[in-house]
Amino acid sequence: MNICEAAVLAGLPKAPSYYDPYKNLEGATTRRDLVIQRMLEEGYIDENTAVMCKSEPIILKDTQEEEKIKDYATLAIRNWFVKRFGYKALYEGGYKIYTTIDKDLQMNASEIVKDKLNYLQKKFGIQKLSQDEIRFLLEEYKKQRKTIKRLKEGRIYIGLISGYKKGYYSILINGFEGKFKYKRQKAFKKGTPVYVRYVGGSKFELVPYLETSLVTIDNKTGQIRVVIGGYDINKSKFNRAFQSKRQPGSAFKPIVYLDALLNGYTQVSVLKDEPISFWDPDKFEEWIPQNYSGKFYGDISLRHALVHSLNVASVYLYNKLNHEEIIRLAYRLGIKTPLEPVKSLVLGSIGISPLELASVYSTFANNGIYCKPYFIEKIVNSNGEVIYKQDPQCMQVVPPEETAVLVDILKGVIQEGTGKSASVLGLPLAGKTGTTNNYTDAWFAGFSPLYTTVVWTGYDFKKKIGWGATGARAALPIWIDFMAAAHASLENIPDFTIPEGTAYYPINEESFSLSNKSCNSKEMLFVIGTEPDYDCFGNFKIYIPDKFLTFLDFDIPQLKINLNKINTEESKEVKILNNKDFIFDIKGDY
């Protein structure tokens, strides 16, 4: 602050409201000049300084320009406080606000988001601007005029393309001229609005149109640790983590699968993955769900369908369940947006916020205990009194046993399914990808035993991110980098807890039945009592004398051994099938 500006403040105490320069600029200027004159008379400044200050107008920061708001977490806190206590209290009340935000993680997330979105925009290319986008950006460009008095390094602006020469696009920004480097000559037409970051002189950097959001919740408390509402708050103050409603795609499926588990389904329940169609009365056409691969896989296990995100099998399952019950379950888990029992709900056709989805997945991670998300812990007034306090509000909303089974399946998504690239972290993790039609929304929702993080990527105006921009390719890379940072300083991270009443069993993946470990098997979690029967005991060496063959033929026909192929003179390896309680006890002199 210079002497001239300090003089404005020095003149305020006599009558702060009257000399408020926002309300009475003329009075504030007169008062400032009086202060300057007295400083000159008392010998604190010289004549030249006094003349300079009196000749300068008072420059006020535009009230719309929130320079102190450096990130989306701060903006969310500010908006929450103003809504509850008022705008005047925010600036005049002397309150101390204690939050749940992890400042270091917030900064890390902000840098990760910028780095990854820059990469993704280059990877998938800049999609053609729609007329709605162009109109919106031109309106923002006009509003920008009111706040730009000079360009500030690091700030993001909207510029208009004015030309192209030798690898550089020239731009106009409300009277200022500049350029940015970009190799593709035909990427932008003259007059196209673009986002750019000012780096000094006449140089700018192109900023992605592509947007994102990231929100992280502490599973045990519901405390929000990180809020990223977009690429940069200087680009857009719209908080996509809290305010946007986007289709979650397959990231919604686990809610439906949990309802199935609560209704007696298990990991090895058989689902049909075959052509299916429904009449859509709203569109007056037939709706035929398709898998991402374009193929059908016949009879598959419930686990396989979710791990590999098969749409057709998921629609089949949804059609077998009570749709209203699924919606009630979604509300218990943390969804606030009204849902409709449409056929496509299982595929995430109704928009919800990233915070809502994070709340759902945090409940999965917390063994079915829902903790209400919050980011303000307490507020203390200027007298040291606590005027607001928020403690964790948690309650069991679904049984821990079935929830743990779902978590075991979602661990499979990362171990062998669509989220496999996250296994590089070497942490106990579970989650689910989400991709909507025409690659307009890309999601990854996942958790460790400690934190749940949800990432969304897309455009504010719905359009294709790029060909093949699935949740695994456009959202998961952000999630991986952030979760690596979130767990980097932590040691001895525990695995997910296994509640009483559940146990792991070896499962023959070909027949969806129990097996001993010598067969082709995978360990899967079941609520005890719901595990399937045995169909594979393994390979045994048996020797059957001639005179014993008749006994086997007549008394144990369920023992599936082709006796004609057994050489009675020597031992052979024979697989015993489909008899859980088989006991082979030979007594007597044979």
**Residue 193 and residue 235 in one domain:** no
3-state DSSP call for residue 400? Answer: helix
Residue 184: pLDDT over 90: no
- CA pair distance 483, 486, nearest whole angstrom: 5
**Residue 447 and residue 513 in one domain:** no
- CA pair distance 504, 481, nearest whole angstrom: 31
- The residue with tokens 């299916």 is 276
In a domain, 103, yes or no: no
**Residue 416 and residue 456 in one domain:** yes
Residue 242: pLDDT over 50: yes
| pLDDT score, position 148 | 83
Residue 461 near residue 230, CB atoms below 8 Å = no
| pLDDT score, position 464 | 96
Distances 141 to 155, 173, 182, 461 between C-alpha atoms, Å: 14, 8, 21, 17
Q: Please spell the DSSP secondary structure of 121-164, one letter per residue.
A: HHHH-PPPPPHHHHHHHHHHHHHHTTT-SS--TT-EEEEEEEEE
**Residue 217 and residue 187 in one domain:** no
Residue 170: pLDDT over 60: yes
pLDDT band at 287; cut points 50, 70, 90: confident
**Residue 285 and residue 412 in one domain:** yes
**Residue 411 and residue 559 in one domain:** no
List residues bridging with 539 in a β-sheet: 575
In a domain, 109, yes or no: no
Residue 105 near residue 200, CB atoms below 8 Å = no
**Pick from 345-349, 437-441, 572-576: least confident:** 572-576
Q: How far does Cα 160 stand from its chain's mean position?
A: 33
How many domains does the chain fold into?
A: 4
In a domain, 36, yes or no: yes
Alpha helices in 366-475 (DSSP H): 400-416, 471-474
**Residue 429 and residue 325 in one domain:** yes
**Residue 160 and residue 287 in one domain:** no
| pLDDT score, position 396 | 98
**pTM of the complete model:** 0.81
In a domain, 75, yes or no: no
In a domain, 542, yes or no: yes
Residue 369: pLDDT over 80: yes
Question: Residue 193 is part of a domain; what is its CATH number?
Answer: 2.40.50.140
Residue 444 near residue 509, CB atoms below 8 Å = no
